[in-house]
């Protein structure tokens, strides 16, 4: 299990959010989540420009085993998606917290970020899940 970067915030459903220097929010799934899902074979990315609402399905990742909805941690507008995942969905397995990011949101309500778990809380959540 790779170290959880301290600058990330999390949903209980295992999505991470990173606030970039320009204020945009980058979203992916945790290393723990990719491990649970197994080898990813397909990612359904959102449309650029689409409006998203916090806590609702925004993308879908499919592993050999199952399809899973990916919720956006914040509301706003999709400004970029990780096109690399179209050809190499396994990037999420290899680097969930880095090159395996999924989409970038321009947040409409930054207060929503305060609702998310910090890295320590998330670590505790997955430790409890494993028992």
Partner 1 sequence: MTEKTVLNATHRALGARMVDFGGWDMPINYGSQIEEHHAVRRDAGMFDVSHMTVVDLHGARTREFLRRLLANNIDKLKVHGKALYSCMLNERGGVIDDLIVYYLGEEFFRLVVNAATRAKDLAWIERQAQAFDVQVKERPDFAMIAVQGPQARAKVLGLLHDVDRPRIEKLGKFVAAAAQGPHGMPLFVARTGYTGEDGFEIMLPAEHAVALWEALLAAGVKPAGLGARDTLRLEAGMNLYGQDMDEDVSPWEANLGWTVSLDEGRDFIGRAVLEQQKAAGVARVMIGVVLDEKGVLRHGQKVLTANGDGEILSGSFAPTLDKAIAFARVPAGDTGALRVDIRGREVAVRQVKYPFVRDGKPCDGI
- Binding residues for partner 1, per CB under 8 A? 35-36, 38-39, 41-42, 44, 60, 62, 64-67, 86, 93
Q: Encoding tokens for residue 9?
A: 């915030």
* Cβ–Cβ under 8 Å, residues 80 and 104: yes
**Residue 60: CB minimum distance to partner 1, A:** 7
| Pair 24, 105: CB distance under 8 Å | yes
CA distance 64 to 17: 25
Strand partners, 66: none
Query: 48 or 64, CB closer to partner 1?
Result: 64
Interatomic CA distance for residues 13 and 49, integer angstroms: 24
Residue closer to partner 1 by CB (options 41, 48) is 41
For the CB of residue 20, give the shortest distance to partner 1 in the complex, in Å. Answer: 28
**How far is Cα 36 from Cα 40, in angstroms, rounded to an integer?**
11
Kindly state the smallest distance separating residue 1's Cβ from partner 1, in Å: 11
Complex with partner 1: residue 25 or 45, whichever CB lies closer = 45
Neighbours of 23 (CB within 10 A): 9
- In the complex, what is the shortest distance from the CB of residue 70 to partner 1, in angstroms, rounded to a whole number? 13
Q: Which C-beta is closer to partner 1: that of 93 or that of 123?
A: 93
């Amino acid at each position: 299990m790779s170290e959880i970067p301290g600058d990330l915030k999390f949903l209980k459903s295992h999505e991470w959010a990173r606030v970039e220097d320009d204020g945009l929010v980058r979203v992916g799934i945790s290393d723990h989540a990719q491990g649970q899902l197994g080898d990813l074979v397909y990612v359904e990315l959102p449309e650029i420009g689409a409006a998203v609402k916090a806590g609702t399905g925004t993308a879908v990742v499919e592993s050999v085993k199952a399809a899973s909805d990916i919720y956006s941690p914040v509301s706003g507008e999709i400004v970029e998606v990780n096109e690399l995942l179209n050809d190499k969905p396994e990037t999420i397995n290899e680097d969930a917290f880095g090159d395996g990011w999924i989409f970038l949101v321009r947040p409409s309500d930054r207060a929503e970020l305060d609702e998310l778990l910090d890295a320590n809380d998330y670590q505790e959540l997955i430790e409890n899940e494993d028992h």
